[in-house]
């Protein structure tokens, strides 16, 4: 009885030991895929997320990360007008889950993809796009340049099972001489714009003054036409009438000088 129990325990221990040594189970985590190799040969079948069985000794499984990755870098290139440009870029990408076996077979692991595929492709795409634009156009048409580089990257990386999710230009850096020239040009354009605004303001003010002077001249002309000789006599009579209305009937009192002559002859009856 004891012998049988010992055999059972020994068998269980041997089984567990064999499982631990040969490890026939493979767990593929979220955002991962398993590349199966039979005696080193990559198979077409890809293991998805979850628990899988493999044939010990014969099969080996390489786990590949297919989650979105981020890469940053810079590329030096010459613009269309032969200005030296340093472009800082950022890229989001991931491995095509269906083609991870092909990617592993031709490139290697995810780390190898970044070094061997992503960086060279970014540099070549940046150079190809930058050469089509002048230095000023790289800044003024930045969105267009970004789209061109992204399309070039997608085309290049698709051959190796890499999908570009997003691409952005972080910054363009030019030589100090060119930066100074751009700054001087911008300042000149701002001064020109200010001068044009001042000229417009002066012109408008002059037109306003001319219009005001014309209006005043027209008003004087109309007044001159209205003021006739009869109107002047009428105004004199009105002023005399107002003076008479205000007189209180007493003669002015004077202390010296000649008395003004007043006719006081009696009326003839």
Predicted local distance difference test score (pLDDT) of residue 13 = 56
159 shares a domain with 110: yes
- How far apart are alpha carbons 263 and 253 in whole angstroms? 17
117 shares a domain with 42: no
Q: Which residues contact residue 44 at a Cβ distance below 8 angstroms, ignoring those fewer than 6 apart?
A: 101
Predicted local distance difference test score (pLDDT) of residue 146 = 93
Put simply, whether the predicted model's pTM sits higher than 0.75 gets the answer no
Instruction: Choose the final residue of a domain: 174, 203, 218.
Output: 174
73 shares a domain with 104: yes
Predicted local distance difference test score (pLDDT) of residue 16 = 52
Q: What is the signed CA dihedral for 9, 13, 15, 20, rounded to 10 degrees?
A: 160
Predicted local distance difference test score (pLDDT) of residue 8 = 67
Counting Cβ atoms within 10 Å, is residue 39 exposed (0-12), middle (13-18) or buried (19+)?
A: exposed
By residue range, what is the domain housing residue 14? 8-65
Instruction: Choose the final residue of a domain: 124, 157, 174.
Output: 174
Predicted local distance difference test score (pLDDT) of residue 180 = 75
53 shares a domain with 25: yes
Predicted local distance difference test score (pLDDT) of residue 200 = 85
Q: What is the signed CA dihedral for 76, 78, 83, 87, rounded to 10 degrees?
A: -30
Q: Are 209 and 201 in contact (CB under 8 A)?
A: no
Instruction: Choose the final residue of a domain: 174, 198, 222.
Output: 174
- How far apart are alpha carbons 86 and 74 in whole angstroms? 7
88 shares a domain with 20: no
102 shares a domain with 20: no
- How far apart are alpha carbons 266 and 208 in whole angstroms? 68
> Token digits for 199?
């000229």
230 in any annotated domain: no
111 in any annotated domain: yes
174 three-class SS? strand
Predicted local distance difference test score (pLDDT) of residue 76 = 85
Predicted local distance difference test score (pLDDT) of residue 261 = 47
Domain count across the chain: 2
238 three-class SS? helix
Enumerate residue ranges in the chain where pLDDT < 50: 261-265, 267-269
Predicted local distance difference test score (pLDDT) of residue 9 = 59
Predicted local distance difference test score (pLDDT) of residue 30 = 94
Ordered alpha helix ranges (H), the chain: 2-22, 100-106, 110-113, 119-130, 135-140, 142-158, 176-226, 229-246
Ordered alpha helix ranges (H), 39-175: 100-106, 110-113, 119-130, 135-140, 142-158
């Amino acid at each position: 009885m004891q012998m049988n129990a010992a055999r059972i325990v020994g068998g269980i221990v041997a089984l567990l030991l064999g499982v631990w040594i040969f490890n026939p189970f493979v767990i593929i985590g979220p955002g991962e895929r398993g590349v199966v190799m039979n005696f080193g040969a990559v198979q077409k079948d890809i293991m998805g997320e979850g628990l899988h069985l493999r044939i010990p000794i014969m099969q080996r499984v390489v786990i590949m990360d297919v989650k979105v990755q981020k890469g940053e870098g810079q590329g030096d290139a010459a613009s269309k007008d032969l200005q030296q440009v340093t472009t800082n870029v950022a890229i989001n990408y991931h491995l095509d889950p269906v083609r991870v076996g092909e990617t592993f077979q031709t490139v290697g692991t995810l780390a190898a993809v970044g070094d061997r595929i992503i960086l060279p492709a970014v540099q070549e795409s940046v150079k190809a796009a930058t050469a089509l634009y002048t230095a000023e156009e790289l800044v003024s048409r930045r969105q267009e340049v970004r789209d061109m580089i992204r399309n070039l990257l997608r085309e290049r990386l698709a051959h190796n099972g890499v999908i570009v999710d997003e691409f952005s230009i972080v910054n363009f850096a030019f030589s100090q001489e060119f930066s100074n020239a751009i700054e001087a040009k911008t300042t000149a354009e701002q001064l020109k714009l200010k001068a044009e605004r001042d000229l417009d303001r002066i012109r408008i003010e002059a037109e306003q003054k001319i219009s005001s002077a014309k209006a005043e001249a027209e008003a004087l002309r109309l007044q001159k036409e209205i003021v006739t000789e009869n109107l002047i006599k009428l105004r004199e009579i009105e002023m005399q009438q107002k003076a008479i209305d205000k007189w209180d009937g007493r003669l002015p009192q004077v202390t010296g000088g000649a008395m003004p002559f007043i006719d006081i002859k009696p009326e003839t009856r």
